A = this chain, B = another copy of it.
Amino acid sequence: MTDFAATKALFHLPDGMIYLDGNSLGPLPLATPARVAQAVQDEWGDMLITGWNKAGWMAQPMALGDRIGRLIGAEAGHVTLGDTLSVKVYQALAAALAMTDRTVILSDSGNFPSDLYIAEGLIRAFGRGLELRVVDPEDVAAHIDGSVAVLMLTQVDYRTGRLHDMAALTAQAQAAGVLTVWDLAHSAGALPVDLAGCGADFAVGCTYKYLNGGPGAPAFIYVAPRHAATADPALQGWLGHDAPFAFEQGYRPGAGVARMRVGTPPVIQMAALDASLAIWDKVDMDALRTTSIRLSQRFIAGVEAACPDLTLASPRDPHARGSQVSFRHPQGYAAMQACIAHGVVGDFRAPDIMRFGFTPLFIDAGDVDAAVAVIARVMGERLWDAPRFMERAAVT
């Protein structure tokens, strides 16, 4: 059983701030600065080129991948790390498409736009009659049929927190001969995921949200063991080669998911992630989920009691959503800015979504109650009417 009071003490949380945005950028673990300094000074500074072996830089994408793998139910040795989530989506989608002659990529309008952009770009490049079919989230199941090559979904909707039933959709896809690419951006570290149990084909995700890897932390990719020896990496770079340092002229893919590595791994970002995973290594994902649900239910009850103007945008059933809660309000952007100014940090997603993330590692029931009190005051007193909250920042 994870002691979440103890994990809270492992994070740097600015004074006077209740940070309900760990679903966008997780906060800094207290141990991270020293780990990063070690990578910079003791590894890069003193070992120089020998750090690739001595400090384990070269092995780290697979080693860190396995630690993430535990959180998402992957078989050991089948997750690797690197690049950004969009790049990994490209590789997973390209690999899946190389396994089938079908031409339809099925996704939904709740997917993160970048996944759809990547698919569009890939279709234009690959040709062969590929087509992106985007349906409403609730209509996905009805569109899984023999015309579909790949089902590409983000499990948890970045706006509403709506949670797809990965087990059911993957089973349905498999029965129809459809390959699956799951984006776990808002799942990894948010709730238990069972990739192996579901029989997912590919999965990708990022580590700067719930996993606290820091801004620009690398992405991860999972390839099911049954595809590991045949998956085409598409972006076939030297570090995915079977023998990168033989400098052969022709490409030979590395063993299993290691072929999904592309270029030089981001050593300093990996050091930061190493520090945060030291916390995650000890987290019981079922306990995390139970606590997350308790927090989000408490938050919904509190906000609904105090703020009649806010409309719940997330599923009311906690088992049908991830670890975030969203409310709609016509002045959502300005209202969120006012909340932030008063110490409750969530974020805004167009057109009218106020989004709050629940991250049991450092958010507790006291934080939820304090956040509700601030939000109630902001909404009740229309603090968001103040002119300073009305201009739109470049990054929301």
Query: Using a CB–CB distance below 8 Å, which chain A residues touch chain B?
Result: 12, 14, 17, 19, 21, 24-25, 27-28, 32-33, 36-37, 40-41, 43-46, 48-49, 51-53, 57-58, 82-87, 90, 94, 98, 109, 112-114, 116-118, 120-121, 124-128, 134, 206, 208, 214-216, 218-219, 232-239, 241, 245-251, 262-270, 272, 345, 347, 349-350, 393-396
Contact = CB atoms under 8 A, between A and B. Distances in A.
Contacts of A45: 12, 14, 27-28, 33
A44 B28 contact: yes
Q: Please list the 8 inter-chain residue pairs (A to B) with the smallest Cβ-Cβ separation, ordered nearest first.
A: A84-B263, A86-B237, A114-B238, A121-B236, A215-B267, A216-B266, A117-B251, A216-B267
Residue from A82, A215, A250, A396 with most neighbouring chain B CB atoms (10 Å): A215
Given A86-B238, A127-B127, A214-B268, 15 more contacts: A44-B214, A49-B345, A51-B215, A86-B235, A87-B263, A113-B248, A114-B238, A114-B241, A117-B241, A121-B233, A121-B234, A125-B125, A125-B234, A215-B264, A245-B394
20 contacts: A17-B48, A28-B45, A33-B40, A33-B45, A36-B268, A52-B215, A52-B395, A53-B393, A85-B263, A86-B238, A87-B262, A90-B235, A109-B249, A120-B236, A120-B250, A125-B234, A126-B126, A208-B264, A215-B267, A216-B264
Give how many copies assemble into the complex.
Answer: 2
Contacts of A396: 245
Contacts of A118: 235-237
Counting chain B CB atoms within 10 Å of each CB, which of A24, A44, A250 scores highest? A44
A98 B126 CA distance: 11
A44 B25 CA distance: 9
A247 B126 contact: no
A262 B86 CA distance: 7
A86 to B, nearest CB: 3
Contact of A394 (B53, B84, B86): B53
Contact of A14 (B48, B218, B393): B48
A247 B37 contact: no
Among A33, A43, A112, chain B packs the most CB atoms within 10 A around the CB of A33
Given A37-B37, A117-B236, A249-B134, A49 B347 contact: yes
B83 A87 contact: yes
Nearest to A53: B395
Contacts of A265: 216
A43 B86 CA distance: 24
A11 to B, nearest CB: 9
